[in-house]
Amino acid sequence: MPSTAAREVPPLLLRDLAVEYRQREGVLRALTIDRLEIPPGTLCGISGPSGSGKTTLLHAAGGLLHPQAGEINWGEDDLARMGEAARDRWRRRMAGFVFQDFHLVPELTALDNVLLSVWFGSWSARRHTTRAAGLLREVGIPDPARRAGLLSRGEQQRVAIARALLHRPALILADEPTASLDAVTGAAVADLLVASARAVGATLLAVSHDAALLGRMDVVHRIDKGRLA
């Protein structure tokens, strides 16, 4: 399992958070959270009905959106007070994302998918290539030169997890990571996510309906109509 310690993991404290979307019918309040605290290294599940605001919460916590009000504190950093460029930098340094549909580039090799951020960023390619190949071995992808589009769905999600772990994130965010997998494959991916977070003490925020995955979390927060239930 990826065993190098994550950088220092800060606590998360959301306060008086409001996220709205402008829709054709008007402004929709998608999320209202008075207070939510998540200690460093917590495995935290987020569940709730479709459209209840789970993805919005994940994106707010991961610095992918700017809230209309409130604080998103990771330790000393309040993402709500950062401009977009600062949030991008924070995210690249701190967070790794895993999505339901993998978001891989099918024409690229498994290795190049893990290295995408390196090709687009200013990181050293040589150093990261060694780490990426090692991560792929650890998540159970024996041939890093295979095209991602030729891998099974479970293997593709493993590649996506390796990619999320590349920069040793203190924070792993996963949006329904097992939803498009069969039960056995989903369980293996859940094992891998949990073990990866535990091995480095990272905080894991996992949106899921999957009882097997939620059962592995330290705590599960339920959201309904944009509020903690």
Token pair 């495995």: residue: 43
**By CB under 6 A, how many residues form the interface with ligand ADP?**
12
Query: Closest residue (Cβ) to Mg ion?
Result: 55
Does 55 bind Mg ion (CB under 5 A)? Our answer is yes
Selected from 30, 60, 133, 166, the binder of ligand ADP by CB under 6 A is: 30
Does 51 bind ligand ADP (CB under 6 A)? Our answer is yes
User: Would you say 110 and 146 are in contact if contact means Cβ atoms under 8 Å apart?
Assistant: yes
Does 144 bind ligand ADP (CB under 6 A)? Our answer is no
Does 174 bind ligand ADP (CB under 6 A)? Our answer is no
Which H or E element spans position 58? helix 54-61
Q: Which residues of 184-218 are buried (b: 16+ CB within 10 A; e: fewer)?
A: ebbbbbbebbbbbbebbebbbbbbbebeebbebbe
Minimum separation from the CB atom of position 50 to ligand ADP (A): 5
CB closer to Mg ion out of 49 and 149: 49
User: Would you say 12 and 74 are in contact if contact means Cβ atoms under 8 Å apart?
Assistant: yes
Does 73 bind Mg ion (CB under 5 A)? Our answer is no
> What angle separates helix 153-165 from helix 183-200, to the nearest 10 degrees?
10
Q: Residue 53 binds what, of Mg ion, ligand ADP, none (CB under 5 to 8 Å, by partner type)?
A: ligand ADP
Q: Which residues of 132-171 are buried (b: 16+ CB within 10 A; e: fewer)?
A: bbebbebbebeebebebeebeebbbbbbbbbbbbbbbbbb
Does 50 bind ligand ADP (CB under 6 A)? Our answer is yes
Selected from 12, 17, 45, 55, the binder of ligand ADP by CB under 6 A is: 55
Selected from 4, 5, 16, 21, the binder of ligand ADP by CB under 6 A is: 21
Selected from 28, 105, 125, 229, the binder of ligand ADP by CB under 6 A is: 28
